Amino acid sequence: MLVLVLLAVFLSFCAQLLQPEPIWPFPWLDWGAQASFIMTEILGSAFLLYIVRQFRELRAGMEYLIVLLICILISVVVRELSVFWRPQTLAWTWVVRTCLLSALVGGVILRFLWINHMLRIKEQAELKARIQSLQSRIRPHFLFNSMNMIASLIPVQPEKAEEAVVELSHLFRSALRDVVEVRLAEELALCRAYLHLESLRLGDRLQVQWQMDAVDENMAIPLLTLQPILENAVYHGVERCDQPEPIRIILSLRRGMFSAEIHNPIADMPEDSSSRPGHNMALQNIRERMYAHHGEQARLKISSDRKTFITYVSFPARRLSRSL
């Protein structure tokens, strides 16, 4: 609406500059009347197009015809009412000239909007393909690690291995869906299922502490955002520790920004995070997918001290949309 109003003001100013009368002193009253007329045509056309689109899809030719009809109707009404605010009634030539100009300007604007709409559709399609490509890279990683975990259970605990296969089938049903975004509640359920699966192998060594601060579980989150971070926390933290060390998961929602912190223990002396095998692939994948969804507002940072490796994720919170 703001763009349309500014467009009406700009067009009225240009129309005033083309008048034969002197530009100084500036004819504010005439310019205001011109701006009101153009604004009425533009906003009236936009409102009618919005109403009609609620009931049926329109072709570009139909939209152009609706704009022309609105311009003709408003021009005729203004001509009939002009006797109340002008010494002389506006001539029909004014109506014809106005309709021709409206047809020209309206055609240019509709053409621009159509091209812009097609570019947005193309961008959305490219974005969806890019996100699906990134997501497809992380799924085999998840599958191979899970199968290796079950293989390690078979010789020593075949009953738990059998239970793990059943759990894994339910887990894959959620993790391998053909979607790019899910509700936060679904991602958390996936994380809990994965942690339960790992607890069959690690037992009491795997301890998890959850902290949730006013989090909306209906908000959208890219699928497999938190689970790969937890997988890193287990494989590169808990599994290498001799003593039970908890994984801390802190979720919060403040000022429209969702954030997640995952703290996992470090087994040995501190080392550069880039040298940790397995961290980079998953984290870089998550970083790229979040950037594709949220642009520069998305953040993924890592830090560590002598005992703890911290992964921090943040992005704008919004309701789930199935457009991607």
The confidence score (pLDDT) of residue 75 equals 76
The residue among 63, 90, 117 that closes a domain is 90
CATH of the domain at 200: 3.30.565.10
Q: Does 201 fall in a domain?
A: yes
pTM for the complete prediction? Answer: 0.58
* Contact indicator for 273, 302 with CB cutoff of 8 Å: yes
Structure confidence by residue, pLDDT tens digits, 269-314: 544 444 444 456 778 888 888 888 888 899 999 998 888 999 999 9
The confidence score (pLDDT) of residue 140 equals 64
Which residues are 304's β-sheet partners?
309
Average model confidence (pLDDT) across the chain = 77
What's the half-sphere exposure (Cβ side, CA atoms, 13 Å) at 26?
A: 8
Structure confidence by residue, pLDDT tens digits, 258-276: 999 999 998 765 444 444 4
Q: Does 306 fall in a domain?
A: yes
- The domain in which residue 283 lies consists of 130-316
The residue among 69, 90, 111 that closes a domain is 90
How many other C-beta atoms can be found within 10 angstroms of the C-beta atom of residue 259?
17
- Nearest-10 crossing angle of helices 92-153, 279-294: 160
Structure confidence by residue, pLDDT tens digits, 106-148: 777 777 777 877 777 777 666 666 666 655 555 566 677 677 7
Both 152 and 289 in one domain: the answer is yes
The confidence score (pLDDT) of residue 275 equals 43
* Contact indicator for 219, 252 with CB cutoff of 8 Å: no
Both 167 and 311 in one domain: the answer is yes
DSSP symbol at 155: T
Both 34 and 155 in one domain: the answer is no
* Contact indicator for 214, 181 with CB cutoff of 8 Å: no
The confidence score (pLDDT) of residue 196 equals 86
